[in-house]
Amino acid sequence: MELKFEFVSYDEESDTFELDENIYTYILDEDQVKTFEILKEGELYLYNWFRDSDLFLDWIKSEVYPDSIGKKIAIATINDIAYLKFYFFKVTSADVYYDYFKKLFGIIEESDWQDREDVGEEILENLASKKLELIIELKENVDESTENE
């Protein structure tokens, strides 16, 4: 199975993300396809599976960002599963993102008249730590004895 990936680069100094507009192709083996099919419905489980996979990280370091040890990136999309909402959420974002993050972070609106900006600020506070969990730092050596496949 062939997957299409897009990435964002993270600039720690300015705490910003920049979209890499290239699309990269990653091929899954049979066992990985089975795992992918199980995890694709839980998008954060899928994200974490790739983020923690030594094979995937080796592919990024050799094919996507060679000679970029120390670079910090995050997955923007896996095929049609988008993670951009984590990096580019704004108080003016669409209602669908509000609903997604309210559910993810367990945010309960006290009433229908509650100011959207208050909810947006609470989402942004929760996202500050969540998006840092999604960052992948490209390190020099991957210990092959600890592959998570």
pLDDT tens digits for range 18-41: 999 999 999 999 999 999 999 999
Contact 8, 17 (CB under 8 A): yes
Predicted local distance difference test score (pLDDT) of residue 141: 62
pLDDT class for 73, splitting at 50, 70, 90?
Answer: very high
pLDDT tens digits for range 75-122: 999 998 999 999 999 988 888 999 999 999 998 876 665 677 888 899
In the chain, domain spans: 2-146
Distance of alpha carbon 120 from alpha carbon 106, whole angstroms: 13
Q: Is the pLDDT of residue 143 over 90?
A: no
Average pLDDT estimate for 11-17: 94
pLDDT class for 17, splitting at 50, 70, 90?
Answer: very high
Distance of alpha carbon 77 from alpha carbon 47, whole angstroms: 9
DSSP 77: E
Predicted local distance difference test score (pLDDT) of residue 95: 87
Predicted local distance difference test score (pLDDT) of residue 84: 94
pTM above 0.75, yes or no: yes
pLDDT tens digits for range 51-70: 999 999 999 999 999 988 99
Contacts of 17 (CB under 8 A, 6+ apart): 8, 9, 10, 11, 74, 87, 88, 131
Predicted local distance difference test score (pLDDT) of residue 55: 94
Question: Strands 72-78, 2-11: parallel, antiparallel or unpaired by DSSP?
Answer: antiparallel
